C-alpha cells in the first residue's frame, strides 16, 4: 500500500551472517500492510561483527534507508534481538562498556522518536530479506578500521595475532567467541561462562579478539605475561589495578593482581609499615600497684632514673652515677622503703633491666616484671611521657640558669600537687590522701579553713532546732544540781558569761556555773508551794511535771484561801509572769478528777457503742 502520514508506521529489521533486511509497513484495521522492502549484503568487515553488532547494523540500515518516512514522526521499531531493546531503549542509558560502534549508533538513533519492541523470529517479516544475498563481482578496498585494538597492541608485550591464536585455543574463550559471533543462548550454559554471560550485551569481536568495551579479553595462557608487564614498575595494588583496567580484562583480574603484588619479594622488602593498631590501655590497678621506669639521658653529662606510678601518676626522678643493675636496685630499694612494694614493674629490655641481679631483686620482693617490645616505646608510654616531662623541666632550668637539682625538686612538688587530666586528682591526693604543703599555702593562711569551720557551725546551729532563751540578772530560776539528792534547786541569775553560760546564786552563798540547757525559769508563785514538789515528778517527762505541779499549786492556793490566784499563770512555769490582782470570783466546784496512774498517765473510760 501507499505511504500515509495518518496511519501508524512500523519498521522491522533483521540481520544474518550474510546480510541485513528492513521492512516499513502501516498498521491498518485489516492488519499490518507493507509499504517498502530493503536489504543488502554484508561486507567482509561487517561479517566479522558479533551477532549483536549485526542486528544493530540492520536497525541503522533501515532507519537510514527510510529516513524520509521516519524522521519527524513517531514510529514503532521492531527487532528479534532482545538485548537491543535495552541498549536502544528510551528508559535506559547507553551502556558505558558497550562497543564503540554501538555507542555511536545509539547516539544516531537518539535523534528519532520511536518505541522499540521485541518480536520473535517466526513473526519477523524481514527475516527472509537478510538471508537472500545477491552475488556480486565488485570488489571494494576496505581500509583497516580504527578500533581500540590498535591502542592495546601498542601496550601489550604480545601482538594481536598472539591473542587471536590463544583465544582460539582457550577452552572457555573459544566458546565465548562462538556465542558472540552466532548468538548467545537464553540460559547460562555453565558456571565457567557466567562472568561472560552477564556481560554478553557488552562483548564484541574486533580483529579476531574478544573485546569488553575498550578492554581486550586475555586468554589464560597469556595472563602471566600480561601481569608481569603490568607489575614491571613495582607500583602498588591500586595503581596496577587502574592500569590494567585501561587495557585488559579477564575474570578475577583484581584477585590475580593482588596476589601478584603480595607475592613480590621486591615490593615486600621496601613496603611501608602496616597501619597502627588501636591503643591497648593497661588495666587499671590501685595506686602504687604498677610502676614504669626508664632512663633519662645522658643529658649534659648526667643520667637520671625516672619512675612513675601508672594509677596515681606519682613521679620520682633520681640522678644515678651508673646505669648498671646494682645502682638501679639501690635506688628502687630506697623508693620502695617509702611507698611500699608494687605488684608490677614495667621497663624496656635494656641490659640493666634484663640482668640476673635485677630479676632476682624483683623476684625476692614478689614484683612481677613486664617488658615492652623492642623498638616500640609506646608500650611503655607512661615512662616515656614522664621522661619527656622531666627532660623539658631540665632544659628550662638550664635556660633560666637555675640549679638543676633545685629546679627538679620544685618541679616534682608542683607536679605532685597538680590535678591530672586522666584521674581528676593530684598524685599526692591519690597516693597519700593529702595535699602537700607548699609556699603557695602561705597566701591563703587559715582563712579558708576558718571560713569552712564557721560555715559548718552556722549550719549546725540552724539544723539543731530548739527554742532560743535568755535570762537577765536577778531572774529566779531552777538549776540542775549534780551534787545532792535534789534534781533541781532554786537560784538567782548573778552574772552572764558568754553565750549560754550563767553564774547562779543558790542562796547559801555558793556561786555555781551552769549552761542555759541546765536552767529553767522559775515562777514567783513557786515560793508558796512545797519545795519538794519536784521530787515527785518523773524525770523523763518535763511536760507532765509542769501539768502536775500546776495542779498541786492550784489545790494548795485554794486550800490556803488565796482566791485571787490566776491558775492559768500558775500553770505556766516556763515563761516569767507577774501576778496581777483581779476581781474576786467565787470558787468554782472542780470537776471529778480521773484516776491517775503511778506514771501520771490519766486513764480514760472505754467508749462502748450501744445499738
pLDDT digit string, tens, across residues 449-465: 677 778 887 787 777 66
CATH number listed for the domain at residues 9-131: 3.30.420.10
Residue 12 has pLDDT above 90, yes or no: yes
548 pLDDT more than 70: no
pLDDT surpasses 80 at 119: yes
Assess whether pLDDT exceeds 70 at residue 427.
yes
User: Mean pLDDT, to the nearest integer, of 570-597?
Assistant: 46
What does the alpha-carbon distance between residue 410 and residue 438 come to, in Å, rounded to a whole number? 10
Helix, strand and coil content of the chain, in percent to the nearest 5, comes to 40, 20, 40
Cβ atoms of 54 and 99 within 8 Å: the answer is no
Which CATH number does 290-432 carry? 3.30.420.10
**If pLDDT is split at 50, 70 and 90, which confidence band does 569 have?**
very low
Q: What is the three-class DSSP state of 144?
A: coil
Q: Are 98 and 200 in contact (CB under 8 A)?
A: no
Q: Could you tell me where in the chain the CATH 3.30.420.10 domains are found?
A: 9-131, 290-432
Phi-psi region of 72 (alpha: psi -120 to 50; beta: other; left: phi over 0): left
Across 81-85, 137-141, 197-201, 328-332, the highest mean pLDDT is recorded for: 328-332
Q: What are phi and psi of 342, to 5 degrees?
A: -80, 170
pLDDT for residue 580 is more than 60: no
- Listed as own residue / partner, the contacts of 508-514 with beta carbons closer than 8 Å and 24 or more positions apart are 512/479, 514/479, 514/480
Task: Label residue 608 by pLDDT band (50, 70, 90).
Answer: low
What pLDDT does residue 150 have?
52
The mean pLDDT value for 561-574 works out to 40
CA distances from 133 to 39, 42, 140 (A): 8, 9, 17
More confident residue, 141 or 252: 252
pLDDT at 96: 66
Above 80 in pLDDT, residue 312? yes
CATH code that applies to domain 476-571? 2.30.30.140
- pLDDT, tens only, 256-293: 999 988 888 888 888 777 777 777 777 888 899 999 99
The model's confidence at residue 50, banded by pLDDT at 50, 70 and 90, is confident
pLDDT exceeding 90 applies to what percent of the chain?
Answer: 20
Judged against a pLDDT cut of 60, whether residue 561 lies above it is answered with no
Among 359-363, 430-434, 606-610, the minimum mean pLDDT is found in: 606-610
Residue 350 has pLDDT above 70, yes or no: yes
Closest CA to 47 of 22, 76, 26, 17: 17
Q: pLDDT for 151-171, tens place per residue?
A: 444 455 678 888 889 998 999
Query: Edge to edge, what strands does the sheet with 344-347 contain?
Result: 315-320, 302-309, 290-299, 344-347, 368-371
pLDDT of residue 153: 47
Q: Tell me the pLDDT of the chain averaged across its residues.
A: 79
pLDDT of 583 reads 45
Q: Which fold has domain 148-269?
A: Endonuclease III; domain 1 (1.10.340)
> Stretch 307-312: mean pLDDT, rounded?
90
Q: What does the pLDDT read at residue 446?
A: 58
Say which residue, 582 or 73, is predicted with more confidence: 73
pLDDT digits (tens, 9 = 90+) for 16-28: 888 999 999 999 9
Q: What is residue 357's predicted lDDT score, i.e. its pLDDT?
A: 93
Tell me the pLDDT band of 555, cut-offs 50, 70 and 90.
very low
The neighbour count for residue 186, using CB atoms within 10 Å, is 6
Contacts from 380-383 at CB under 8 Å and sequence distance 24+? 380/292, 380/294, 380/346, 380/347, 380/348, 382/282, 382/292, 382/308, 382/310, 382/346, 383/292, 383/293, 383/294, 383/306, 383/307, 383/308, 383/346, 383/347
- On the question of pLDDT at 84 being above 80, the answer is yes
3-state SS string for 37-72: EEEEECCHHHHCCCHHHHHHHHHHHHHHHCHHHHCC
For residues 362 and 328, the answer to whether their CB atoms sit within 8 Å is no
pLDDT range class, residue 558, cuts 50, 70, 90: very low
Residue positions counted in the chain: 611
Residues of the chain with CATH 1.10.340.70: 148-269
Report residue 57's pLDDT band, with 50, 70 and 90 as the boundaries: very high
Most confident range (mean pLDDT) of 148-152, 272-276, 426-430, 530-534 is: 426-430
Residue 606 has pLDDT above 90, yes or no: no
pLDDT at position 364 is: 93
Q: How far apart are CA 328 and CA 318, in angstroms?
A: 10
Amino acid at each position: 500500500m501507499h505511504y500515509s502520514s495518518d496511519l501508524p508506521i512500523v519498521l522491522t529489521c533483521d540481520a544474518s551472517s550474510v546480510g541485513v533486511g528492513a521492512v516499513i509497513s502501516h498498521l491498518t484495521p485489516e492488519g499490518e500492510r507493507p509499504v517498502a522492502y530493503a536489504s543488502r549484503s554484508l561486507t567482509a568487515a561487517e561479517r566479522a561483527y558479533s551477532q549483536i553488532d549485526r542486528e544493530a547494523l540492520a536497525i541503522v540500515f533501515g532507519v537510514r534507508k527510510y529516513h524520509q518516512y521516519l524522521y519527524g514522526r513517531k514510529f514503532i521499531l521492531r527487532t528479534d534481538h532482545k538485548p537491543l531493546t535495552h541498549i536502544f531503549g528510551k528508559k535506559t542509558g547507553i551502556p558505558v562498556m558497550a562497543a564503540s560502534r554501538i555507542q555511536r549508533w545509539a547516539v544516531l538513533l537518539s535523534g528519532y522518536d520511536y518505541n522499540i519492541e521485541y518480536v520473535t523470529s517466526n513473526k519477523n517479516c524481514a527475516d527472509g530479506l537478510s538471508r537472500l544475498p545477491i552475488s556480486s563481482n565488485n570488489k571494494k578496498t576496505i581500509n583497516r578500521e580504527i578500533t581500540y585494538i590498535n591502542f592495546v597492541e601498542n601496550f601489550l608485550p604480545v601482538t594481536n595475532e598472539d591473542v587471536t591464536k590463544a583465544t582460539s585455543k582457550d577452552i572457555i574463550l573459544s566458546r565465548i567467541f562462538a556465542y558472540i559471533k552466532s548468538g548467545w543462548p537464553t540460559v547460562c550454559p555453565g558456571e565457567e561462562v557466567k562472568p561472560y554471560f552477564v556481560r554478553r550485551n557488552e562483548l564484541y569481536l574486533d580483529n579476531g579478539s574478544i573485546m569488553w568495551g575498550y578492554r581486550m579479553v586475555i586468554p589464560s595462557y597469556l595472563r602471566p605475561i600480561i601481569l608481569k608487564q603490568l607489575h614491571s614498575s613495582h607500583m602498588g595494588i591500586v595503581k596496577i589495578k587502574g592500569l590494567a583496567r585501561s587495557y585488559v580484562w579477564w575474570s578475577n583480574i583484581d584477585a590475580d593482581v593482588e596476589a601478584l603484588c603480595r607475592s613480590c619479594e621486591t615490593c615486600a622488602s621496601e613496603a611501608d609499615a602496616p597501619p597502627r593498631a588501636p591503643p591497648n590501655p593497661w588495666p587499671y590497678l590501685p595506686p602504687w600497684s604498677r610502676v614504669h621506669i626508664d632512663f633519662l639521658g645522658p643529658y649534659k653529662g648526667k643520667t637520671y632514673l625516672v619512675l612513675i606510678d601508672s594509677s596515681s601518676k606519682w613521679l620520682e626522678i633520681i640522678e644515678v652515677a651508673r646505669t648498671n643493675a646494682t645502682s638501679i636496685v639501690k635506688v628502687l630499694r630506697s623508693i620502695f622503703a617509702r611507698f611500699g612494694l608494687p605488684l608490677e614493674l614495667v621497663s624496656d629490655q635494656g641490659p640493666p633491666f634484663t640482668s640476673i641481679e635485677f630479676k632476682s631483686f624483683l623476684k625476692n620482693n614478689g614484683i612481677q616484671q613486664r617488658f615492652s617490645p623492642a623498638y616500640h616505646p609506646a608500650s611503655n608510654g607512661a615512662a616515656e611521657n614522664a621522661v619527656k616531662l622531666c627532660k623539658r623541666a631540665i632544659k628550662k632550668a638550664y635556660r633560666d640558669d637555675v640549679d638543676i637539682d633545685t629546679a627538679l625538686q620544685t618541679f616534682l612538688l608542683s607536679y605532685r600537687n597538680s590535678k591530672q587530666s586522666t584521674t581528676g586528682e593530684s598524685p599526692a591526693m591519690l597516693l597519700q590522701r593529702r595535699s602537700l604543703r607548699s609556699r603557695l599555702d602561705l597566701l591563703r593562711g587559715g582563712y579558708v579553713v576558718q571560713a569552712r569551720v564557721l560555715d559548718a557551725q552556722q549550719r549546725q546551729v540552724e539544723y539543731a532546732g530548739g527554742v532560743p532563751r535568755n535570762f537577765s540578772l536577778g531572774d529566779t530560776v531552777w538549776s540542775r544540781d549534780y551534787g545532792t539528792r535534789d534534781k533541781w534547786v532554786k537560784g538567782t541569775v548573778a552574772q552572764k558569761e558568754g553565750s549560754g553560760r550563767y553564774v547562779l546564786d543558790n542562796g547559801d552563798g555558793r556561786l555555781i556555773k551552769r549552761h542555759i540547757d541546765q536552767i529553767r525559769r522559775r515562777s514567783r508563785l513557786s515560793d508558796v508551794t512545797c519545795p519538794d514538789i519536784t521530787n515527785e515528778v518523773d524525770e523523763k517527762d518535763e511536760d507532765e511535771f509542769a501539768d502536775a505541779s500546776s495542779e498541786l499549786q492550784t489545790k494548795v492556793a485554794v486550800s490556803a484561801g488565796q482566791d485571787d490566784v490566776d491558775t492559768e499563770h500558775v500553770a505556766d512555769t516556763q515563761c516569767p509572769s507577774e501576778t496581777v490582782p483581779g476581781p474576786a470570783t467565787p470558787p468554782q466546784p472542780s470537776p471529778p478528777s480521773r484516776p491517775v496512774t503511778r506514771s501520771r498517765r490519766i486513764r480514760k473510760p472505754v467508749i462502748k457503742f450501744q445499738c
